[in-house]
């Protein structure tokens, strides 16, 4: 058992020493490397986005079934929320629907992430 423990300790010392030597080399390289100055060349063009430039990057698209009168057929109201929370996006959509003149909100049809 002592030999296994000694072998283990020696192996661990070798690995720690190798790691420390590697860390010191990278520090030396970083200290001796010249600083990276920004170039005068124009930056490369960005890749084309799958969404238009004005579209939000995160959020939810909430579709609500809304009515203006109690016995009217439901119509779909869509609202784009920048919130990452589904519940908060739903609440924002309900507020926007009421503000748009739909006092009766039947139910949430669909909530999808952008």
Per-residue model confidence as pLDDT tens digits over 85-96: 999 999 999 999
pLDDT band for position 100 (cuts 50, 70, 90): very high
In angstroms, the CA 84 to CA 60 distance is: 7
**pTM given for the model:** 0.51
> Using a CB cutoff of 8 Å and minimum separation of 24, what contacts does 41-48 make?
none
Per-residue model confidence as pLDDT tens digits over 39-66: 665 565 665 655 666 665 789 999 999 9
- Alpha-carbon dihedral of residues 63, 67, 68, 71, nearest 10 degrees? 180
User: What 3-state DSSP class applies to 17?
Assistant: helix
In angstroms, the CA 10 to CA 33 distance is: 34
């Amino acid at each position: 058992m002592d030999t296994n423990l000694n072998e283990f300790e020696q192996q661990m010392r070798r690995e720690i020493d190798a790691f420390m030597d590697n860390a010191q080399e990278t520090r030396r390289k970083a200290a001796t490397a010249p600083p990276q100055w920004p170039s005068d060349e124009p930056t490369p063009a960005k890749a084309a986005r799958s969404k238009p430039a004005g579209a939000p990057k995160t959020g939810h698209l909430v579709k609500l079934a809304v009515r203006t009168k109690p016995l009217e057929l439901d119509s779909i109201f869509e609202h784009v929320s920048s919130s990452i929370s589904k519940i908060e996006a739903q609440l924002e959509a309900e507020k926007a629907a009421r503000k748009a003149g739909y006092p009766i909100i039947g139910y949430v049809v669909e909530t999808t992430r952008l």
